[in-house]
Amino acid sequence: NNLFQQRLRVDTTFDPADQLFVRADANTCFYHQTAGLSAAPGDTVGNNGFSYNAQTGQVGLFLNKNI
């Protein structure tokens, strides 16, 4: 019940204190989990998150890091 009521800390500027880092590539937004990262990721290798394609509405998960 409480999970969906909590506001996530999301930013387009990398800050490990945020919960998600967001970057865009064409029509797709990538939301990267910041836990365990020391720098902004440029791809999905070695990190966890999800992608959202605004053109198609498709959502994809990438789970490439153990925390």
Q: Which of 2, 25, 1, 5 is nearest to 49 (CA)?
A: 25
Please provide the size of the chain in residues.
67
Instruction: Enter the pTM of the model.
Output: 0.85
Arithmetic mean of pLDDT, 3-30: 89
d(CA 56, CA 1): 29
Arithmetic mean of pLDDT, 20-41: 94
**Does 66 have pLDDT greater than 80?**
no
Measure Cα distances from 26 to 44, 52, 54 in Å. 15, 11, 10
Q: What is the pLDDT of residues 44-65, one digit of tens each?
A: 999 999 999 999 999 999 999 8
Q: Which of 37, 29, 33 is nearest to 60 (CA)?
A: 29
The domain ranges of the chain are: 3-63
